[in-house]
Structure 1
Amino acid sequence: MSVFVTKTSGHSAEITWDPEADDPQGYIGTAIESDQLAYALEALGDPEGAGLPAQRSPEQAVQAAASTAALASVLKRRSAQQVVYLHDELKLGWRTIAKSLLDDPEKQSSIRRMYNSAQRQAETKGDA
């Protein structure tokens, strides 16, 4: 993967990627063009109001929340797919994955739920 986030100066950064190789489904492009990434970063940087007080109207606040939720949903699915890879391809154990992702090796059942969710999604995709 050749997605790069480069700090350019001060509080600025530049994101570069190859749309064909790095984003064939268009998720990165959509996240940027629809302001999902901007809203999510704003929420990430605002621990008290999750980025919503910065919005000027209820409609903008709803748009910000919807954009953040949409990006979070995609990332949640991707994270579950990564669990499948860590377990099936790299042969990492549930405890190791739970420690790495959730900082608690006892949360194996949470990791297994993520794994099962990704498996169900893959099966549903195969049926389509």
Structure 2
Amino acid sequence: MSVTITKTAGRAVEITWAPEDDPHGYLARAVEGDQLAYALEALGDGASLTEYSVDAALQAAMHTKALAKELDRRAAKQVVTLREQHGLSWGQIATVVLDDAARQSAVRRMYESGLRHLGR
């Protein structure tokens, strides 16, 4: 994928991608629909959330959760790839993805979820 993040000055960045990297428009929607902005704000501790009105705070939470849900689906598909194409063990995947080799059953659930999202 040719998504690039370039630090331009101080804490400013520029994110670019090619149209073929986003055939379903997920990246564009995350940017245009403010999901990415709200999620990054939450990642930065969401301090300004207290300055929002109730409606704006609800919007921020909704957008952050929507992006997190989409990323969970993507991570599940990546687990399928790690297992099927790269032949990694459940323990190896659990160590890297969940930071705990003992969480192999959780990784298997992610794998099963990934298969469902792939239509298999």
- TM class, shorter-length: over 0.9
Q: Say if 1:54 and 1:6 are closer, same or farther in 2 by CA, change over 3 A.
A: farther
- Residue 121 of structure 1 deviates from its aligned partner by 2.3
Please state whether the residue corresponding to 2:49 is helix, strand or coil.
coil
Name the residue aligned to 2:11.
11
Name the residue aligned to 1:58.
54
Say whether 1:80 aligns with 2:76.
yes
**How many equivalent residue pairs?**
120
TM-score by length of 2: 0.94
- Residue 122 of structure 1 deviates from its aligned partner by 2.3
2:117 aligned to 118, 121, 124, which one?
121
Name the residue aligned to 1:33.
32
Structure 2, unpaired ranges of 5+? none
Structure 1, unpaired ranges of 5+? none
Runs of 4+ in structure 1 over 6 Å off: none
Q: Distance in 1 between matches of 2:51 and 2:82?
A: 38
Name the residue aligned to 1:2.
2
* Residue pair 2:77, 2:117 contacting (<8 A) in 1 also: no
Identity percentage of aligned residues: 55
- Please give the per-residue CA displacement for 1:21-47, whole angstroms capped at 9, x wherever unaligned: 11001011001111110000000011x
- Residue 53 of structure 1 deviates from its aligned partner by 1.4
Name the residue aligned to 1:111.
107
Q: Distance in 1 between matches of 2:87 and 2:42?
A: 35
> Aligned AA for 1:60?
A
Please state whether the residue corresponding to 1:52 is helix, strand or coil.
helix
